[in-house]
Amino acid sequence: MDIKVLGPGCAKCKKTAELIQEVLTETGVAATMEKVTDLIQIAGYGVFGTPAVVIDGEVKSVGKVPTKDAVKGWLK
């Protein structure tokens, strides 16, 4: 599973990355997580609000820190 957290490095972006890492640790799901800060790459996903979460190429969340339950649902 390939997870990307899109954002310039703001507090919400950091919180999103921390939350996803926490859920990965709790669930034991095998995944790689990458933080994407380049605005051109972010726009390439059609995302214009951050933070955003992309899992296996599919945009799951835009413009907010997702809930822990939402992240767990995406990882199933």
Active site residues: 10, 13
Q: Two tokens at 49?
A: 């609000």
Residue with tokens 């939402």: 70
Write the burial class of residue 47 (CB in 10 Å: 0-12 exposed, 13-18 middle, 19+ buried).
buried
